Amino acid sequence: SFTVGPLRPGPTVIKNFYTESPLITSRPQHVTDQFYALNEMTIRGFAPKPILTFDELQFPSKT
């Protein structure tokens, strides 16, 4: 029979890949607030502005 002992903790992984598009940065706050209200969303604490259109996505360039 095979017995597994206690697992040791792995390394801390930080996933911070998001870079806000200039289109999102320049969006007025009232537009973001309207989006939250329309979708019945309550935000507590920090949250990046939502991506509302496909044009606002930023994909990494190929290297």
In the predicted model, is pLDDT for residue 22 greater than 90?
A: yes
CB contact at 8 A, 53 and 35: no
What ranges do the domains of the chain cover? 21-46
DSSP E strands, the chain: none
Measure the CA–CA gap between 28 and 33, rounded to whole angstroms: 9
Measure the CA–CA gap between 30 and 53, rounded to whole angstroms: 16
Find, among 24, 52, 48, the residue nearest to 39 by Cα: 52
Specify the pLDDT at position 63.
Answer: 67
Instruction: State the chain's mean pLDDT as an integer.
Output: 90
What is the pTM assigned to this prediction?
0.65
In the predicted model, is pLDDT for residue 37 greater than 90?
A: yes
In the predicted model, is pLDDT for residue 61 greater than 70?
A: yes
Of residues 28 and 2, more confidence is placed in: 28
